[in-house]
Amino acid sequence: MGEKIISKVIGTLTEDDSLSDWWIGGKIEIPFFDQQKVGVSFTDYDREHDETFLAEADDALQHFLALTSADRKAVTHLVYKNCLDFLELAEPDEADDDLRAITEENEIWKFVQPTEIYVTRRLYEQEDLYVQVACACDWDQEHGLQLVFRQGKKLTRVSGQDGHLTEADAYGKPDSEDYLLSQF
């Protein structure tokens, strides 16, 4: 088993045996998802070179854990749009009939299942901490869905799970041209 670190928010995290900068924690209740329990990991954390990561990660997690189902409702339109955009590009499939039958945007959450939370530092531009919520979703079984919150405070990206924390990073554009990020 790997080394251990202590988060004031989630307790003990254990270093992944195969990835020295990944720290695996236990599952915690997430108010944003009506208290569903989701595992939390710290990623890209090198204790020798990033002395502030642990404190910043705890701060970001505290902000994220303060978000409630009301905050989820406020971003529903973005998740619903992600689904509609995907369905518009996909070949019609009977498996998507329930998604296409949605009459109220808020129904989209029945098709989203949070699977893991990653707290990581952005490596480009402003090297801030982000809380990345990886989800399975019924419309894109291959790439899923990710909800990314800068400093755990505000949603700054809704997309498939592509390894990027921001649209700016994903598409090589300035932060000012990233619609959600620029509103932070």
- In percent, how much of the chain has pLDDT > 90? 86
What is the pTM assigned to this prediction? 0.94
pLDDT above 70: residue 47: yes
What is the distance in angstroms between the CA of the first residue and the CA of the last residue of the chain? 39
pLDDT above 90: residue 93: no
- Give pLDDT, residue 176: 94
Average pLDDT in the 27-42 region? 98
Helix (H/G/I), strand (E/B), else coil: 133: strand
Rg of the chain (C-alpha set):
17
Q: How many domains does the chain have?
A: 1
Which H or E run contains 57?
helix 53-65
pLDDT above 60: residue 183: yes
Per-residue pLDDT tens digits for 14-28: 999 998 899 999 999
Per-residue pLDDT tens digits for 71-86: 999 999 999 999 999 9
Average pLDDT in the 135-150 region? 96
Q: Which domain holds residue 180?
A: 1-184
pLDDT above 70: residue 1: no
Cα torsion 96, 97, 98, 101: sign: positive
